A and B are shown apart, each in its own frame.
With several copies, the nearest count.
Chain A
Amino acid sequence: MAVRLVFLGKLADLAGVGEREVSAPLDWAGLLAALPGPLGEAARQDRTRIAVNGALLADKTTLQAGEGDEVALLPPVSGG
């Protein structure tokens, strides 16, 4: 149990929690497998971005996370 998933904004509502741990290592296919139903659909949407340890991925399908990494799922921002 070593990669932390963080769900932001309405994705936390879909997930039912703000954070969850999954096994390392984690790639894009592994992430989708770990996210059932609407959460997986949301992750696939272009406007949902992925960051690893606070760094945004230009292409989220290149995700490679290991032991101790934090993977954030970021829906579109809605400003201040």
Chain B
Amino acid sequence: MSRDVRLLTTPFDPATEIAAFGAAHRGFGGLCSFIGAVRLDGDVEALELLHYEAMTLPGMEALADEALARFGVAGLLIIHRAGIMHPGDPIVLVAAAGRHRREAIEAVDFAMDHLKSDSWFWKRELRGVHWTWIEPRAQDHSDLSRWG
């Protein structure tokens, strides 16, 4: 069972990470991944994700442990950016490898729902010269409630 959890303040390349994760889990049948990137969304020029040293990475590690235990996958990768990003930039990559596709897909789904609404990140968006704090979305909480 492998766990790789990283909080990065510099850009990363999701496809390169998926290739490495796949190579490390050759022989398992399934690899599911999700890449979340900054949307091209009207006049949003940048977004900034802030984290809290004492809690954000430990929380991501605990989430990975929970997903590994709950879905029985062989490997789980979580990479999350902090700092300032621009449209198209990758924010998050979650990947899970397992013998069967259901467990890999569900582990990724579960981890993404929790990263989006239950991890210690605060987001603000830049439009023109104004930074605006983003409030939690109701959708994120209903996604989370799926997991009981």
CA distance A79 to B56 in the complex (A): 11
Q: Judge whether B12 is part of the interface by a CB distance below 8 angstroms.
A: no
- Determine the interface band of chain A, counting residues with CB < 8 A from chain B: 10 to 19
| CA gap between A53 and B118 in the complex, in Å | 19
Q: Is the CB of A10 within 8 A of B55?
A: no
Main secondary structure of the interface of B (DSSP, over half): mixed
Q: Chain A at the B interface: mostly helix, strand, loop or mixed?
A: loop
Q: Given the interface contacts A8-B50, A72-B52, A80-B36, does A54 sit within 8 Å of B119 by beta carbon?
A: no
Q: Is A8's CB under 8 angstroms from B140's CB?
A: no
- Counting chain B residues whose Cβ lies within 8 A of the other chain, the interface size class is 20 to 34
Those of B91-144 within 8 Å (CB) of chain A = 91-92, 115-124, 133-137, 140
Q: Are A9 and B115 in contact (CB-based, < 8 A)?
A: no
Question: A77 at interface (Cβ–Cβ under 8 A)?
Answer: yes
How many residue pairs at the A-B interface have CB separations less than 8 Å?
A: 66
- Within the complex, which residue of A6, A13, A79 is in contact with B52, where a contact is CB–CB below 8 Å? A6
Q: Is A45 close to B, CB under 8 A?
A: no
A72 touches B54 (CB 8 A): yes
- Bound complex: CA of A79 vs CA of B120, how far in Å? 8
A51 CB-CB contact with B under 8 Å:
yes
- A76 close to chain B: CB less than 8 A: yes
Once A74-B52, A77-B136, A80-B36 are accepted as A-B contacts, the answer to whether A54 and B121 lie under 8 Å apart by CB is no
Residues in A with CB closer than 8 Å to B136 are: 76-79
Checking B54, B58, B117 against A79 with a beta-carbon cut-off of 8 angstroms, the contacting residue is B117
Residue in contact with B137 in the complex, picked from A51, A54, A72, A79, CB distance below 8 Å:
A79
Q: Shortest beta-carbon distance, A71 to chain B, in Å?
A: 11
Chain A residues in contact with chain B, CB under 8 A?
6, 8-10, 13, 51, 53-54, 56, 70, 72, 74-80
Binding site for A on B (CB under 8 A): 36, 49-50, 52, 54-55, 58, 80-81, 91-92, 115-124, 133-137, 140
